[in-house]
Amino acid sequence: MKKILFIIVLVILHSCKNESESKKTDNQNGYDVAIENASGFSITRFDGYSVMKVNTPWPEAKDPFIYLLKEENIRIPEDLEFDQEVIVPVQKIVVTSTTHIPALEALNEERSLVGFPGLNYISSENTRSLIDNGAVSELGQNENINTEVLIDLSPDVVIGFAINASNKSFETIQKTGIPVIYNGDWTELTPLGKAEWIKFFGALYGKEEKAAEIFQNIKSEYSEAKKLAQSAKNIPNVISGSMYNDTWYMPYGNSWQAQFIKDANANYLYSETKGNGSLSLAFESVMEKAEEAEYWISSGQFTSYEQLFKESEHYKRFKAVHEENVFSVSLSQGATGGVIFYELGPHRPDLILKDLISIFHPELLPNHKQVFYKALN
């Protein structure tokens, strides 16, 4: 009889403990992870799980996506609403943009990458070695991912990006039970805003502190370089972009590209313009306003003056061309032809800014080796 009573008491105590623990988990208060510059996402951390909200998965998105990042065997509140659940830390991942690769490498998690659409676009030597060794599978094209191969890989999560709400490949993937999370780093309008999305990946791998440390180092380097640029004695005029079918396309004045020029203490001649996408102008209007600009950066896919003049003799009329002050990101490519700027640039705005300062104000950074922007051949 005593033995039976003892067992009953143990059961009651265990039930009370479970109820107490359950209440503690269900009613705990979370805290917001510090997001300083990015506007497209937020993370609220709880004991054993996080809630990540992606506000702008694409421009003009009507509703945010809410993602539950949950450790195994953790109870969550029954009334918690979310779009997708991911078990963290992630062990196997598929990403769909080269801009995601630097974040994985910075967190020392590139070996978790099992698939990618368009492997030749990846430039990083570390990840390319994994590809060459067969550790990362080809998934076809981003607009038409090979879902059969992806399903066989059985990743814990797919990190997607989209220009609108319609993506049949991601819908198919989600129906198989593999969660898809949208990453909207490309919608950010500021250099540091894009870079801060490393915290998005930090939450997936349980490396929030490391991600925050990496971002703070990048932000510190950027701020120091920006401060240095303000000491320059001259402020040169700058144009950007290039022509296509007699129309000159260039960044708007409120774009992240234009922000770099401003922070490098140069005058972007179209800084007053605002909009999304690219500003499109007739050649004559650009010629009238920018003929005497000292520098021309981001000159399309051109890598030499020969290519430039073959495309249009009109380019010869610009001062920046006469003085050979035309710089392009297309000269810095990976082993398979991917442009490094489009992969690493959003993650390392401090390096972009230093490149531009060394171009506009070479006396300030005489020993800087340009990473992205290089003079045309």
Task: Determine the angle formed by the axes of helices 256-263 and 349-360, rounding to 10 degrees.
Answer: 50
Neighbours of 354 (CB within 10 A): 26
Residues present in the chain in total: 377
Instruction: List Cβ neighbours of 189 (8 Å cut-off, separation of 6 or more).
Output: 254, 255, 256, 259
Among 344, 337, 334, 345, smallest CA distance to 297 is for 345
β-bridge partners, 159: 95, 181
Q: To the nearest whole number, what is the mean pLDDT of the chain?
A: 91
- Domains in the chain with CATH codes: 28-218 (3.40.50.1980), 231-375 (3.40.50.1980)
Residues 73-94: tens digit of each pLDDT = 999 999 999 999 999 999 999 9
pLDDT at 187 over 50: yes
pTM, two decimals, is 0.90
Instruction: List Cβ neighbours of 259 (8 Å cut-off, separation of 6 or more).
Output: 189, 190, 191
pLDDT at 37 over 60: yes
Model confidence band, residue 17 (pLDDT cutoffs 50, 70, 90): very low
pLDDT at 218 over 50: yes
pLDDT at 76: 94
Neighbours of 275 (CB within 10 A): 12
pLDDT at 72: 94
For the residues 60-67, what does the mean pLDDT come to? 92
Model confidence band, residue 47 (pLDDT cutoffs 50, 70, 90): very high
**d(Cα 204, Cα 201) in Å, to the nearest integer?**
5
**d(Cα 209, Cα 127) in Å, to the nearest integer?**
23
β-bridge partners, 50: 45, 69
Model confidence band, residue 167 (pLDDT cutoffs 50, 70, 90): confident
> What's the token pair of residue 36?
């300083």
Residues 92-105: tens digit of each pLDDT = 999 999 999 999 99
**Cα dihedral sign for 23, 24, 28, 34?**
negative
For the residues 350-366, what does the mean pLDDT come to? 98
Contact 283, 246 (CB under 8 A): yes
Contact 147, 173 (CB under 8 A): yes
**d(Cα 258, Cα 297) in Å, to the nearest integer?**
11
pLDDT at 18: 45
Contact 256, 189 (CB under 8 A): yes
For the residues 329-352, what does the mean pLDDT come to? 96
pLDDT at 2 over 90: no
**Structure-model confidence comparison of residues 65 and 299, the more confident one:** 65
Distances (CA, A) of 321 to 304, 318, 332: 11, 5, 20
Lowest mean pLDDT among 33-37, 197-201, 298-302, 321-325: 298-302
pLDDT at 66: 97
